[in-house]
Structure 1
Amino acid sequence: MPSGSPTRSWRRRSRCRADRRARPPTPTSATSCPARASWSSSSADPTHGKGADLSTDNRRPVAILGGNRIPFARQNGPYARASNQDMLTAALDGLAGRFSLQGERLGEVAAGAVLKHSRDFNLTREAVLGSPLAAETPAYDVGQACGTGLEAAILVGNKIALGQVDAGVAGGVDTTSDAPIEVNEDLRQVLLELNRQKTSAGRLKALAGLRPGQIVPLIPRNMEPRTGLSMGEHQAISAKRWGISRAAQDEWAVASHQKLAAAYDAGFFDDLLTPYLGLERDQNLRSDSSVEKLAKLKPVFGEGPEATMTAANSTPLSDGASTVLLSSEAWAAEHSLPVLAHLVDAEVAAVDFVHGDDGLLSAPIYAVPRLLERNGLGLQDFDFYEVHEAFASQVLMTLKAWSDPAFCSERLGRDEPLGEIDPQKINVNGSSLASGHPFAATGGRIVATLAKLLAMRGEGRGLISICAAGGQGVTAIVERKKA
C-alpha cells in the first residue's frame, strides 16, 4: 500500500459508491458525458457539404490541423493592460496567418474566458470580428473553468463529426491582470434603486442611503463560492490527505521547467506560438530552476509543518490566449493542410467536493477510467500523457489514485487498479507549472502541443487530463494512425 494512502476513508461509503460507479454511465448521468461517443479516425468522409448521417458508424473523423497561442505572461507583466479581447484576437491573428485563413468563413469559433468583464458578454464574436477571419464566421462563448479550452475543442469536434460544420476554431483566453473589480453590494443596490426611480425626489432619496464605506470596491478573490476556500487551499487538503511530499512536488516542478526550456531551445514551439507585446517565450519559464532553489521557498497553501505547496510547485496567476484549428479530413485536403492528429473521444466528470469527501481537483481521476473503458484501452496504452499541472500535488495525487488498489476498488468499482504510468511519457515538453496557466487558454495549448508531438512521432496515442474549478475534470484522447 503506498505511503499516505487514504484507504480507510474510502470505505465509509464504499458499497454505494462502488455500485454506482461500476454501472455503465447513462446519457442522463450528472457526473459524466457519455453522449460524446467516439469519433472514429479511420472512417471515410462521405458527408462533406451534404449534412450528416447521425449514426455512430458515419461520424466523421475530427482532424487537428494545428494551433497558435501567444506566450503566456505572469500577472501584471507585459500583458497588464491587454484585455481578453485583445489577447484572443492576437491568437486568432496568428492562427489565420499560419493557415492562410484570411477572409475564410469557418463553421464556427468557440472560445471562452473564466474571468470576464461585463464588456466581454460576446467576447469570442468580438474577437472574430477583429481578426482576419471572415465576418460571417459565427462565434460563441464557452465556460467550464480551467477546462474551457478543451471543452471548446470537444464542442467544435462534435459538430465536425456530425457534419454540421466542416472547420472551426476552439480556444480560450484569460487575464488575471485585468480582472473585473466589483462594486460593493450595498452600493450596487443603491445604484439599482437610483435607476428605478422616475422622479428627482426619488433619486435623491435613493442617494441619501449611500454611506462612505459602501463606495469601497470588493477585492477580487479566487475562491470556490460554496466553500470560501481557494483552489490552492482545497488542494492543500488533498495533498495532505494523499501524503504528497514537498520534495516530490518540487522535483516535478523543476522537471516541468527543464522540459519546457528544452522544447523551446529545440524550436518545438516555433509553429505553435506568435510573439505578442514583446514576449517571445512564456514569461514564467525558469530554465535555471533547481530543487535546491525551490526548497528555500515557504509554503503558500496549507497550515503548519505539514504544508507543502509553494509558489513554485503551484501555477502562477497568468495572462494569455490559445487557439486550435479543427476540421474534417475533406476540408483539410481542400485547403492543402496536413492533418497532425485526430480528436478521438472525450469525457467530462464532476465530483461532490462540497458535501462529499472527494477533493476539488479529483474529477479527472474518475473521468479517465470511463474514457478508457468506452474505448477498450488501458491506462498504459498511450505514448504521451498531457496532464494539466494546476499544482504538482494534483498531478501526483492523480497518479497515486490510479495505482491505489483500495481507491480503484471502492471508488472506481474496479477489480484492479489502473496502474502506473511511465513518467518519461508525461508532459514531455513541460506543462502549466512552467508555462503558466491562463485558465481558459490551457486546453488549447495542450491540444496543439499533443497533436504536434504525435505528428512528429508519426503515429501514436495521447491522453489529456485537465482538472477544473467546481470539482470538474475534462479529459480526451488524441490519436495519429500510421500513414
Structure 2
Amino acid sequence: MLSDGKSIRRVAVLGGTRVPFARSYGSYASATNRELLTTVLDGLAARFRLDGECLGEVVAGAVLKHAGDFNLTRESVLDSRLDSRTPAYDMQQACTTGIQTVIAAANKIAVGAVESAVAGGTDTMSDVPMGFSDQLRTALVSARRARTVPARLRALSGLRPRDLAPALVHPDTRTGLSMGEHVALSARAWGIDRTAQDELAVTSHRRLAAAYDSGFMRDLVVPHRGLDRDENLRTDTSVHRLARLRPVFGTGAPGATMTAGNSTALSDGAAVVLLASEGWARRRGLEPLAYLVAFETAAVDFAARPEDPLDGMMMAPARAVPRLLRRVGLGMEDFDFVEVHEAFAAQVLANLAAWEKEGLAPVAPARLNAVGSSLATGHPFAATGARIVATLAKLLAERGGRRGLVSLGAAGGLGVAAILERPL
C-alpha cells in the first residue's frame, strides 16, 4: 500500500520490437545508436498503433556512445513516430542496461507515476567511441589554445607514432583482464569443459533458426538495412565444426576452452519493450503477454578475488537468482522457461552449476533459452535485456507457460534477475 492509500499496480508486458542484430562492421557498419533506437521505437509504434501517442516515459541507453549522444533516448524519441512530448532519459549499467531500464520503467508504472512506458537499449560496436593517449590529448588541447601557427606546431612536435594509436579495447581497470579472460577463470574454477560449451552454442543457433522458421520471431523483429534475420545466426553450425576452432581466451594456462564459436560475437542492434498498467492496456484493447512481478540485483568482488568460483566477473547471477527465489518462495522447478544471457557459453554453464550448489534444482535443458539467446542472436550490450524480456513474455503467452526467469550478468561484477508471470 502506498502512502496515498493506493495499492501497487501490476505491470503488464505487452510486447517488444528489435532490429535483427548485425555483426559489427557488417550490415549496420554506418548505422548510429540513434538510428537503431529510433528504428525500433518506430517499429513498436507501428505494431501497437502508437503513432502520435504521448506515452508516460521512454527509458533506454547505450553502453558505448559518443559524447554528442548525451541525450540519446530523448533525441531518438524526437526522431520517432511518438508524440514529441513523451519524456525520455538515458540509463547505463553495462550489459544489464536493458533489464534495468525495464525495472525502472516498471517501478513508475507500479506506483502510478505513469500509465505506460517503453524500455530498452541500443549499441553498435561498428561506431564505438575511440580513446586516445594522454600525450595526444594534451598536445591537441595545447595546440587548440595556442595563438599562433608556430606555437601550435610546437605543441604537436613532441608526438610520437605510438601516441597516435587509438584504444578500442578497454580491459578492466582493476584487473587488467578482458571480459573473456575473466570468464576463462570461471570456466576453470567450475570445471566447464569445451564440449559442453560448444553444445550450448550449437543448441542456441538451432533453436533461434527454428524460431525464425516457425514464425515465432515475426512480430518481434523489424527488418532493417536489408536484414530480416540476425546476422550472427549460423544454421549450419555443429559441435564438430566448433571443435576445430582455436581457444582465444584463457590461453595463458593449459586446457583453454573458450573460442569465438562459444563466445558472443561483437554486435550492433537495438531492442525495446512496451510496458503498461492493466488499465492502459485494457483501454487500448491490448492483451498482456505477462507481468513483471519481481526482480533482484547483485554484485561480486571480482577484483579482489577474480579466481574465486562465486566471485568471477560474470558470476553475480549466482547470487541474484537464489536470493530472488528465496525471497518470493519459489524454486527452479516452478519456472516453465529460464532465459539466461549467453555472453559466453562458459558463463552460462558456470552460473547453472552455482545455482545447483546453492541448492536449486537443475534447469531442464528444454526450458533453458528455448528459442536461442545471445550466442546466436548476437549481443548489442544495452539491447539484450529488452530482447530477453520481450522474448520470454511471448514464450509464456504462446506456449502456455505460467512463469519465466530472466538472468543477466555484466561487467563490473553485476547481475540482475527478474520474474515474469502469466495471470492465473
Does the pair score TM above 0.5? yes
Deviation at 1:72, TM superposition (A): 0.4
Give me the CA root mean square deviation: 1.8
Equivalent position to 2:19, from 70, 79, 82 = 70
Equivalent position to 1:471, from 407, 413, 417 = 413
Shift in CA distance, 273/314, structure 1 to aligned 2, threshold 3 Å: same
Aligned to 1:389: 342
SS at match of 2:211: helix
One-letter code aligned to 1:284? N
Equivalent position to 2:108, from 159, 172, 185 = 159
One-letter code aligned to 2:324? L
Equivalent position to 1:275, from 206, 223, 230 = 223
Deviation at 1:115, TM superposition (A): 1.0
Unaligned stretches of 5+ in structure 2? none
Aligned to 2:322: 369
Query: Contact 1:114–1:145 at 8 Å: present in 2 too?
Result: yes
Query: Contact 2:395–2:401 at 8 Å: present in 1 too?
Result: no
Aligned to 2:28: 79
Deviations 1:214-243 (A, max 9, x none): 651323004212212110011011101111
The percentage of aligned residue pairs carrying the same residue is: 57
One-letter code aligned to 1:178? D
Aligned to 2:185: 237
Counterpart CA distance in 2 for 1:147 and 1:359 is 16
2:378 equivalent to 1:436? yes
Query: Contact 2:132–2:167 at 8 Å: present in 1 too?
Result: no
Deviations 1:137-159 (A, max 9, x none): 11111101000000000000000
Equivalent position to 1:450, from 392, 398, 417 = 392
2:196 equivalent to 1:248? yes
SS at match of 2:268: strand
Deviation at 1:193, TM superposition (A): 3.5
Deviations 1:71-107 (A, max 9, x none): 0011111000001111111111101100011111111
Shift in CA distance, 54/391, structure 1 to aligned 2, threshold 3 Å: farther
Bigger mean CA offset, 449-458 vs 210-219: 210-219
Counterpart CA distance in 2 for 1:236 and 1:60 is 43
Aligned to 1:354: 303
1:73-222 equivalences under 5 Å are 73-195=22-144, 199-200=147-148, 204=152, 207=155, 210-213=158-161, 216-222=164-170
1:251-262 equivalences under 5 Å are 251-262=199-210
Shift in CA distance, 54/94, structure 1 to aligned 2, threshold 3 Å: farther
Aligned to 1:48: none
Deviation at 1:191, TM superposition (A): 2.7
Equivalent position to 1:264, from 212, 216, 231 = 212
Deviation at 1:211, TM superposition (A): 1.9
Aligned to 2:7: 58
Equivalent position to 2:234, from 276, 286, 306 = 286
Counterpart CA distance in 2 for 1:361 and 1:188 is 33
Query: Contact 2:18–2:387 at 8 Å: present in 1 too?
Result: yes
Deviations 1:23-66 (A, max 9, x none): xxxxxxxxxxxxxxxxxxxxxxxxxxxxx935898101000000
Aligned to 1:302: 250
Bigger mean CA offset, 332-341 vs 188-197: 188-197
Aligned to 1:37: none
Counterpart CA distance in 2 for 1:421 and 1:53 is 37
Counterpart CA distance in 2 for 1:316 and 1:56 is 49
Unaligned stretches of 5+ in structure 1? 1-51, 409-416
Deviation at 1:374, TM superposition (A): 1.5
Query: Contact 1:114–1:439 at 8 Å: present in 2 too?
Result: yes
Give aligned pairs, total: 419
Aligned to 1:419: 361
Counterpart CA distance in 2 for 1:55 and 1:382 is 35
Aligned to 1:319: 268
Counterpart CA distance in 2 for 1:278 and 1:201 is 48
Counterpart CA distance in 1 for 2:96 and 2:145 is 39
Query: Contact 1:252–1:392 at 8 Å: present in 2 too?
Result: yes
One-letter code aligned to 1:187? L
Deviations 1:173-192 (A, max 9, x none): 11011111123221212233
Bigger mean CA offset, 456-465 vs 445-454: 456-465
Deviation at 1:379, TM superposition (A): 2.0
Counterpart CA distance in 2 for 1:436 and 1:306 is 26
SS at match of 1:247: helix
Counterpart CA distance in 1 for 2:150 and 2:90 is 39
Aligned to 1:14: none
One-letter code aligned to 2:183? Q
Aligned to 1:379: 332
Deviation at 1:203, TM superposition (A): 5.2
Query: Contact 1:459–1:481 at 8 Å: present in 2 too?
Result: no
TM-score by length of 2: 0.95
Shift in CA distance, 286/214, structure 1 to aligned 2, threshold 3 Å: closer
Query: Contact 1:190–1:206 at 8 Å: present in 2 too?
Result: no
Query: Contact 1:111–1:172 at 8 Å: present in 2 too?
Result: yes
Query: Contact 1:388–1:466 at 8 Å: present in 2 too?
Result: yes
Counterpart CA distance in 1 for 2:14 and 2:413 is 31
